[in-house]
Amino acid sequence: MTLPKRYAMVFLVSLAILSIGIGANPLFQLDEVFYVGAARAFIAGTPSVNPEHPPLAKYLMALSIQALGDRPISWRIPSALAGALVALCAFGLTLRLTGSLHSAYIAWALLLANGFWFVMGRMACLSIFELAFEAAAVWGLVIALEQKSLRWFAASGALFGLSIGSRWGGVVGFAVCTAYTLVYYRPALKSLALMFGSAITVYLASWVPLLVREHRSAQYLIAGNAFILQFHRHATTDPRPGEPWWTWITSLNLPEAVNELTANPVIGILGLLAVALLLWRRKPLLPSLYLAHIAQWAITSSHWQHYYYYLEAFTWLTLALAVAMHGVTIRRIRADVLVTACAASLMAQPLLRTL
């Protein structure tokens, strides 16, 4: 099978998994009400009901609603497409980092067993879009560094612009990749200038449909982004009892609904060992992406319904585990096959229950 066909297979199988029964629940799940409301407002040309986040991902939901009608499958199918893109990027990036199709398939299989990916790929929320574009941007950056290609640096920056345009959390991945390029690539300044330029251009361009639809002047770019900044600086914390970040490592709960599915303990625990191993091997890209994303929430306690904050961190942890296990055997048994089988066995019951 040619590589393009493998890419297509990974994307389509992932999309099929995420799409099964995606519209069965007619009720809003968690924060869907805010983002679907914003998509409806965009269609109507009225002021957004969710101005505390950039508009790009909500455009995609609006396009789906216009194409398929205002119903649950329309709200959520863009998220499934974004989740399939995450899976494709996990496969392609791992292949780039290891040169092994076997490890690429392991990364994909581990991602399928990652509860965060499965839940957020079936829910009309913003995090999966931010992650999809971020993962594509990191993949593009690795290609740019390998090929010393300004075109790929520009493409990576544009993808980061789309990530940040979906949710400001994409800034974290952009900052990590900027630092990584400064340390590991010479000359870096011209390439980084191109990355920054394309990221800023695409981010600003992503606001244009909103300006047109809401009949606003260009000054709203400043006002809208200032509001986002102030909102997140002064947002009140959730009054419900929280849980420290490390409890998510061993948590696997499905008491009532799939939206309570959390981390896979096999990936969570062994992933931390993989992060340490990759740092020891002086391969800091994936560990840095994990650590930077988890650092946002490690200093606070978060209620269980906010577990989607950990989507990006646990996705990078999953890839770190796949890359760290490349070529490792235990008494002639491939460690990655054994670990993937254990991770899949833990997820089999809740996934079958959902599907």
| pLDDT tens column, 103-114 | 999 999 999 988
Does 234 reside within a domain? Answer: no
Domain presence at residue 205: yes
Q: 71 pLDDT exceeds 50?
A: yes
Whether 68 shows a pLDDT value over 60: the answer reads yes
**Is-above-0.75 flag for pTM?**
yes
Task: Give the residue numbers spanning the domain of 105.
Answer: 10-17+31-225+253-354
**Angstrom distance (rounded) from CA 325 to CA 88:** 20
In a domain, 235, yes or no: no
Q: State the number of CA atoms in the 13 A half-sphere of 190 facing the CB.
A: 9
Residue pair 323/98 in contact (Cβ under 8 Å)? The answer is yes
Residues 6 or more apart whose Cβ sits within 8 Å of residue 315: 86, 90, 111, 114, 116, 117, 131, 135
Is residue 268 included in any domain, yes or no? yes
Q: Report the pLDDT value the prediction gives residue 254, as an integer from 0 to 100.
A: 46
- Please write the tens of the pLDDT for every residue from 226-235: 888 888 776 6
More confident residue, 323 or 329: 323
Percentage of residues of the chain with pLDDT beyond 70: 86
The region of weakest confidence among 57-66, 93-102, 119-128, 338-347 is 338-347
**Torsion angles phi and psi, residue 327, rounded to 5:** 80, 0
DSSP 108-154: HHHHHT-HHHHHHTTSS-SHHHHHHHHHHHHHHHHHHHHHT-HHHHH
Rounded Cα gap, residues 91 and 105, in angstroms: 6
Q: How many CB atoms lie within 10 A of CB 29?
A: 18
Q: Tokens 């490890």 sit at which residue?
A: 103
Considering the domain boundaries, does residue 247 fall inside one?
no
Confirm whether 149 is domain-assigned: yes
Residue 258 is given by DSSP the state G
Asked whether residue 280 is domain-assigned, the answer is: yes
Mean pLDDT over residues 103-129, rounded? 90
Report if residue 25 sits inside a domain.
no
d(CA 304, CA 244) in angstroms, rounded, equals: 10
Q: Choose the weakest-confidence range: 53-62, 129-138, 229-238, 307-316.
A: 229-238
Q: Count the domains in the chain.
A: 1
